[in-house]
Structure 1
Amino acid sequence: MSNNASSIEVLLENVQDYVKTTLKLTKLNAIAQSSDVISSVISKIVISIAAAMFILLLSFGLAFLIGDLMGNAYWGFFVVAAFYLLLAILIYSFKDQWIKVPVSNKIITKLLKNME
């Protein structure tokens, strides 16, 4: 009987070690997955900021150029603003098709890739 009780104790210790190891592995996988997603988001934010600065400065240059060609600087800014208004309407009209679905698919693909 004592041999049987000893075997059960060893089995329980092994099960406890297995559960602890599984929990640690799950935590480490979650950390790795989170850090991968967060680093991707941060890199895209940095690139977006650089692109936004380029577009902003380019817009000012084009506004002044168009304004110079039209005779008054403010006309150039009106033309550039109208362009951005049309662009915003176009993006809003196709936001699901151009932004929501591709971003969702990219996130799902990245998360599923990390689970394998």
Structure 2
Amino acid sequence: MEPNATTNENLNLYEKAENYTKTSFELIKLKTVSSSADALSTLTSRIAVGAVVAFFTLFLNIGLSLWIGSELGQYYYGFFIMALVYLIAAIVLHKMQHKLIKTPIGNMIISSILKDENTEIDPDLK
């Protein structure tokens, strides 16, 4: 009777291991789909907001250029002045890109990655 009981226990253990593996695989798939959907929805919403801001900026710049040009007597003067403003802004951004752009974005990415990892850790396992 002993060998038969051991065989049943091994079979039961094998089934449990198989179920655990299948469940773990399904969980990984669901987490991947959830993360992908979250990233895609965030990207889509930021692109939509970016497009609206880009159109706003475009029309604001055209309006400012025309207004400055009409004040100076020639419309193209306004466009030249706005181009000069953007040239100065580009130079400032180039000189300070690490402080104004690279470091804050890097910190944001790192904190979001670490936040996601911390939320996945089971509090009972700590």
Answer whether TM exceeds 0.5 for this pair: yes
Report the residue type matching 1:61 in the other structure. Answer: G
**What CA RMSD, in Å, does the superposition of the two structures yield over aligned residues?**
1.4
Higher relative contact order (CA 8 A, sep 6+): 1
Aligned residues: percent identity? 34
Secondary structure at the aligned position of 1:82 is classed as helix
Provide TM-score, normalisation by structure 1.
Answer: 0.90
Distance 1:68 1:100 in 2: 39
Whether contact under 8 Å (1:64, 1:76) holds in the other structure is yes
2:25 counterpart (14, 23, 26): 23
- CA distance in 2 between counterparts of 1:37 and 1:110 reads 12
Normalising by the residue count of structure 2, what TM-score does the alignment of the two structures yield?
0.83
1:19-77 Cα deviation digits (max 9, x unpaired) = 11011111111221222122112211111111110010000001011111111111100
Q: 1:79-100, CA deviations, whole angstroms, 9 ceiling, x for partnerless residues?
A: 0001111111222222222222
| Structure-2 residue corresponding to 1:40 | 42
Distance 2:100 2:29 in 1: 34
> Paired residues, what number?
116
Unaligned runs of 5+ in 2: 120-126
Worse-matched range after superposition: 95-104 or 84-93: 95-104
Answer yes or no: is the 8 Å Cα contact 1:66–1:76 preserved in 2.
Answer: yes
Aligned with residue 107 of structure 1, among 88, 106, 109: 109
For residues 26-105 of structure 1, the aligned pairs below 5 Å read: 26-105=28-107
Deviation at 1:4, TM superposition (A): 0.2
- TM-fit CA distance, 1:101: 2.4
